[in-house]
A and B are shown apart, each in its own frame.
Chain A
Amino acid sequence: MSLFDLPFEEPLDPDHNRPDSAQGKPSDSAQGKPPASPNKTKPRAPERRVHTVSELTARIRTLLEEELFEIWVEGELSNCKVWNTGHLYFTLKDQGAQIKGVMFRSALRLLKFTPKDGLRVVARGRVSVYDPKGDYQIICEHLEPGGLGALQLAYDQLKQRLATEGLFDSRRKRALPALPRKIGVVTSLDGAAIRDIIKVLRRRYANAHVVIRPVRVQGEGAALDIARGLSAIAKVKGVDVVIVGRGGGSIEDLWAFNEEVAVRAIAGCPVPIISAVGHETDVTIADFVADLRAPTPSAAAEMVVARKDEFVSRIDRLEVRLRGAINARRHRLESRLRALDARSGIASARGRLAMRARDAGELTHELRRAVRASLSTRERRYQTLRLALETFDLRRRLAGLRTRLVAGDGRLASVVDRRRHALDARLGAAVARLESLSPLGVLARGYAVCWNADRTKVIRDASSVAPGDRVTVTVERGELACEVKGRV
């Protein structure tokens, strides 16, 4: 009340000594009896005239209403509140003073913007007094935004200053870790934000390790709390990404994220940091200095774990290509062997035959080893995949559905078995085929090769030798020196 009493005393007392000024008017308006009599006593020496409170208040009101019936005033809105009558009550203030105000529903309806705390406005109206309380207030007929409110101004000033320092520079932005070890969260435990974050992390990254630092996110001291929370969480071993934020609210609720101490702590965070303040449309200075701005807390959680999904499919694709490449390599080797066999007939020179035979033998052996090695790595790979599927895929995708997990595991095992058997069979067939084509294989089956005496020519025609000629016969193991006795 004292604030309201003060202005009354000063203008009123001098008025008593200046009869012509304000004094005359209330009597002209002849609103009530009380103003009439003091007016007449005025020219004479001051005489004690005792007013009732009502009389005095009525005089004050008359004075104010006469003098200030159509005024414009500029100031910052605060304490805005729309009562259930639909009328807006507010306080208009500047650095040195404040005045209460009301805007009736009918006038309020015509406004294009929503009067909010912190907004600088120009109001048009008249000043009146509410007798029962002795309050004077401005009855506002129209409001328009005028310039910037203090909050907006503070926001713009800090933003400008930090921009000059280069804190919004895109070169400062760090990439998020490919795969976070621990995810730090700095927010309030009471709000919806932390629940949203946990829900998303659990859903998309079942084994997420989250460390939460609870802080106040609005009100006096919140910004400092956020700054301290950030420095504490960055010290936790393994935390390699941080989400800082809160759920939606009014501009005042989000204000801590526009305060220098919090903003600087975000800019100085030693690990990559995502800001997630309010809703999509709320932009705070925290958003400009963070490495990444998430439109909502849930979105921040998605940004952290989307990376994991990405990697799982990337590695899977690489594995497919890896297997494809080694299989292609093996197929090329096999067809080269086949070509080799087809070219090197038994008709070649003995030396060449022996050489080829050795080649073929070696290659067969090598191929066998290659296929076996590939088979065993594949088998290990399948075991790994099975493990991975058990511990990750199935749990993640079919979380909680134990029965399906068991069934899936069984199917998987039989798939692995079938694949292994198929590979075994393919290996056997490939080796058998190679052996059947190999010159050594032919000899092993009991065939022999007959050469002329100087071993330059294979005897294909019995008439090319005569009785008494010497020939050499190669069998699987060793050679025989023979003499032709005659033709059969």
Chain B
Amino acid sequence: MSDTTIKDFEAAIAELEAVVKKLEDGDLPLEESLRLYERGVHLSRFCHARLEEAERRIEILNERGHLQPAPAGLTAEDDSQTRR
């Protein structure tokens, strides 16, 4: 998710915390409350997306500096356990 208003995951969490606190604390004007709420939902969506972003992949970095898939033997045992 590319969102220029959010620096990174850590910043998003911090801002989400601030938003929630502000909403909980102040009796803000309705418009402001709704704006904050929208922002909060947006931030939490960003965080969840970021949590799921990484790919499930295991690679080997070889001597020549190239990435190649890990040999099946290295992960086979684990895979069979998952299926069970």
Binding site for B on A (CB under 8 A): 178-182, 189, 194-195, 198-199, 202, 205-214, 232-233, 235-236, 308, 311-312, 314-315, 318-319, 321-322, 324-326, 328-329, 332-333, 366, 370, 373-374, 377, 380-381, 384, 388, 391-392, 399-400
Contact = CB atoms under 8 A, between A and B. Distances in A.
Chain A CB count within 10 A is highest, among B19, B41, B67, for: B41
Interface in B1-41: 9-10, 13, 16-17, 19-20, 23-24, 27-28, 30, 33-34, 37-38, 40-41
B75 A198 contact: yes
Contacts of A374: 34, 37
Nearest to B70: A212
B27 A332 contact: yes
Interface of B: 9-10, 13, 16-17, 19-20, 23-24, 27-28, 30, 33-34, 37-38, 40-41, 44-45, 47-48, 50-61, 65, 67, 70-71, 74-75, 77-78, 81-84
A213 B71 CA distance: 13
Contacts of A210: 57-59, 70
Given A202-B78, A210-B59, A322 B52 contact: no
29 contacts: A178-B13, A179-B51, A195-B74, A202-B75, A206-B56, A207-B56, A209-B54, A209-B59, A210-B70, A211-B59, A211-B67, A212-B74, A213-B61, A233-B61, A236-B61, A315-B16, A318-B17, A319-B40, A319-B44, A321-B20, A329-B28, A366-B30, A374-B34, A377-B37, A384-B45, A384-B48, A391-B52, A392-B48, A399-B82
Given A178-B10, A202-B78, A384-B45, A326 B17 contact: no
A311 B51 contact: yes
B36 to A, nearest CB: 8
Given A213-B60, A322-B19, 6 more contacts: A211-B67, A214-B60, A318-B17, A324-B24, A326-B34, A366-B30
